[in-house]
Structure 1
Amino acid sequence: MQGLRRSDWGDLMALLVSVVAAAVAPLQVLILSYAFLGPFHYLTEIAWLRGKQFYFGKGLVSPRVYALLAIGMSILALVEGLAKRADFAFWIVGVLLFLSLTVWVRNPYLLVMIALAAVGVSFVLRTWVYFISTMVPTLVHVFFFTLAFMVSGALRDKRTTLLKWLNPGLLAVFPLLLLFLPMHYSAPNGFWLWAESASFAAIHAKLAGDLHHTLLLNSKLFNDPVVAGLLRLFAFIYLYHYLNWFAKTELLQWHKTSRRGWTGILTLYVASIAIYAWNFRIGLVVSTFLSVLHVLLEFPLNWHTLRFLALRWRGERVETATGSRTQLQVPL
Structure 2
Amino acid sequence: MKFKPTVDQVNYLNIGLMLVAAVCAFFRPFETFLFAYAFFGPAHYLTEISWLHDRNYFTKGKFDWIWLLLAGVIITLANFQLVPNLPDSAGTVIIFVSFIAALVFVTVSNTVLRIVLIVASAVGSKFLVDFGGFQSIFGVFMPTLIHVFIFTGLFILVGALKGRSLSGILSLVFFILVAISFFYLPISNGQYIPTNYVMDSYGHLKNNGSFTDGFISLNYHIMSVFNLHDFGKPTVNFQQFVDGFNSFLFQNPLSLSIMAFIGFAYLYHYLNWFSKTSVIQWHNIPRARFIGIIVLWLLSEGLYAIDYAVGLQWLFFLSFTHVLLEFPLNQLTFINIGKEIGAIFTGKKAGNTKAVKAN
2:313 corresponding residue in structure 1: 285
**Max Rg structure:** 2
Q: 1:294 aligns with which of 307, 312, 322?
A: 322
1:191 corresponding residue in structure 2: 197
- Alignment deviations for residues 195-226 of structure 1 (CA, whole Å, 9 cap, x no partner): 11132211101212332324956566443222
1:330 equivalenced with 2:357 (yes/no): yes
- Alignment deviations for residues 96-145 of structure 1 (CA, whole Å, 9 cap, x no partner): 2122121344355666655544431223x122122111110001100110
2:209 corresponding residue in structure 1: none
| Aligned-partner SS, 2:95 | helix
Moved more, 220-229 or 210-219: 210-219
| 2:42–2:319 contact (8 Å) kept in structure 1 | yes
| Aligned-partner SS, 1:191 | helix
Q: 1:203 aligns with which of 210, 218, 227?
A: 218
1:100 equivalenced with 2:102 (yes/no): yes
| 1:223–1:64 distance in 2 versus 1, CA, 3 Å | closer
Distance in 2, Cα, partners of 1:74 & 1:36: 24
Moved more, 95-104 or 34-43: 95-104
| Aligned-partner SS, 1:257 | coil
2:280 corresponding residue in structure 1: 252
Distance in 2, Cα, partners of 1:262 & 1:25: 32
Give the letter aligned to residue 268 of structure 1. Answer: L
Distance in 2, Cα, partners of 1:54 & 1:194: 36
1:89 corresponding residue in structure 2: 91
1:73 corresponding residue in structure 2: 74
Moved more, 143-152 or 109-118: 109-118
1:119 equivalenced with 2:120 (yes/no): no
1:182 equivalenced with 2:209 (yes/no): no
TM-score (norm. length: structure 1) = 0.86
Would you say how many aligned residue pairs link Structure 1 and Structure 2?
A: 320
Mapping of residues 1-332 of structure 1, within 5 Å: 5-56=8-59, 58-59=60-61, 62-66=63-67, 68-80=69-81, 87-106=89-108, 114-123=121-130, 125-159=131-165, 162-184=166-188, 185-197=191-203, 198-210=213-225, 211-213=227-229, 214=231, 216=244, 218=246, 221-315=249-343, 318-319=350-351, 324-325=352-353, 327-332=354-359
Distance in 1, Cα, partners of 2:299 & 2:38: 12
| 1:90–1:129 contact (8 Å) kept in structure 2 | yes
TM-score (norm. length: structure 2) = 0.80
Provide the identity percentage.
Answer: 29
Give the letter aligned to residue 36 of structure 1. Answer: F
Give the letter aligned to residue 218 of structure 2. Answer: I
| 1:145–1:234 distance in 2 versus 1, CA, 3 Å | same
Give the letter aligned to residue 196 of structure 2. Answer: G
Distance in 2, Cα, partners of 1:103 & 1:81: 29
Superposition deviation, residue 255 in structure 1: 4.9
| 2:28–2:192 contact (8 Å) kept in structure 1 | no
Unaligned runs of at least 5 residues, structure 1:
none
Distance in 1, Cα, partners of 2:26 & 2:193: 15
| 1:222–1:64 distance in 2 versus 1, CA, 3 Å | closer
Give the letter aligned to residue 134 of structure 1. Answer: V
| 1:302–1:77 distance in 2 versus 1, CA, 3 Å | farther
| Aligned-partner SS, 1:179 | coil
| 1:149–1:331 contact (8 Å) kept in structure 2 | yes
- Alignment deviations for residues 285-330 of structure 1 (CA, whole Å, 9 cap, x no partner): 12332210110000000111111112334447644xxxx34x5131
Cα RMSD between the aligned structures?
2.7
Distance in 2, Cα, partners of 1:248 & 1:85: 41
Superposition deviation, residue 38 in structure 1: 0.7
Distance in 1, Cα, partners of 2:72 & 2:218: 23
Moved more, 272-281 or 199-208: 272-281
Unaligned runs of at least 5 residues, structure 2:
1-5, 204-212, 232-241
| Aligned-partner SS, 2:193 | coil
| 1:14–1:240 contact (8 Å) kept in structure 2 | yes
